[in-house]
Structure 1
């Protein structure tokens, strides 16, 4: 495309009569004029690119009120995990559920050995838990932030040939270093959670606070 534009300019100069005398001086003058036009075009393209960038920043600031623009557009802290139970787990009250089969662990903040997620930043987080009971049995679990319950789920099925699932989703603010995990509900006896990769624990950072 650039070659075509330059040839078009060259042809236009021919039409203006610059090539009536085909001496070397005329050719040098034409090439000098062509170089000036190319430099001018590059300068204009640079100005357009700068204006487009400035316009995008202004539109981003309007959408997110300035402060949120930096959070969403510049601060891309990757913190997210999903883990599952690969086998049935028998647990009791206050026992932490270790979801050991890790699918995603961006930021490496979830520990599959302990079943606990540790917040690397102060921010707004989302957590979701789905737990399945064995046929004819019940399961009671709590979603905990440090030692405070932030979610509760129950599942049970009276029919001996059917499973039952329960789930909970919570949005919460965590300070750096706070821990979130799933454990057996206080006061229950021994229960068994169905594994088979159906029981899952997910969490992610929604917004990092300064």
Structure 2
């Protein structure tokens, strides 16, 4: 970001007219700076595409049902829905997605990352350990997506019990 401006020098006596012109120039500069900052940093349309959400509570979810990460931390462009658990790409590009699952003792999960209903990445937590053993599994995928593609996580093998607060889903456009 750069800002170039010029203030005309004043010579002679400072009159109310001269001070008014100087004040007008300062106000114009402030307006320009405010516009640049708002356009570049505050408008969501110019913000990078990205989201991060986690499950607020422990859930048992049936096979094939979309996992809803209901606690949203970041969600530029409102592309992730905490109601449906789906992310819809607002722009074509290269995206990275990460999903982490914590399973309770004796529980299984077979998370899969779906794009338009097709599996593009998967993970498995086979937690047959002792009564106080929790297992975490994570995966990351980098995918070239088109505008409007829909991405979500679901178990592709069986019902899954997913530990809240420790299971999350994130995505961001790389370029």
Q: TM-score, normalised by structure 2?
A: 0.71
Which residue does the alignment assign to 1:184? Answer: 155
Tell me if 1:202 matches 2:137: no
**Structure 2 Cα separation of the partners of residues 175 and 181 of structure 1:** 15
Of 105, 113, 117, 1:135 maps to: 105
Unaligned 5+ runs, structure 2: 1-44
**Structure 2 Cα separation of the partners of residues 178 and 164 of structure 1:** 31
Which residue does the alignment assign to 2:120? Answer: 150
CA RMSD of aligned residues (A): 1.6
Q: Are 2:47 and 2:76, in contact at CA under 8 Å, matched by a contact in 1?
A: no
Higher relative contact order (CA 8 A, sep 6+): 2
Which runs of at least 4 in structure 1 moved beyond 3 Å after TM superposition?
Answer: none
Of 124, 139, 152, 1:168 maps to: 139
**Superimposed CA distance per residue, residues 48-94 of structure 1 (whole angstroms, 9 cap, x where no aligned partner):** xxxxxxxxxxxxxxxxxxxxxxxxxxx95421100000101111111
**Structure 2 Cα separation of the partners of residues 138 and 144 of structure 1:** 19
**Superimposed CA distance per residue, residues 16-46 of structure 1 (whole angstroms, 9 cap, x where no aligned partner):** xxxxxxxxxxxxxxxxxxxxxxxxxxxxxxx
Count of residues paired in the alignment = 131
Which residue does the alignment assign to 1:10? Answer: none
Give 1 or 2 for the bigger CA radius of gyration.
Answer: 1
Q: TM-score, normalised by structure 1?
A: 0.60
Of 122, 143, 148, 2:92 maps to: 122
**Superimposed CA distance per residue, residues 159-183 of structure 1 (whole angstroms, 9 cap, x where no aligned partner):** 1111001111000011000000001
Q: Are 1:133 and 1:155, in contact at CA under 8 Å, matched by a contact in 2?
A: yes
Which structure is higher in helix share?
1
SS of the counterpart of 1:107?
Answer: helix
Q: Are 1:156 and 1:165, in contact at CA under 8 Å, matched by a contact in 2?
A: no
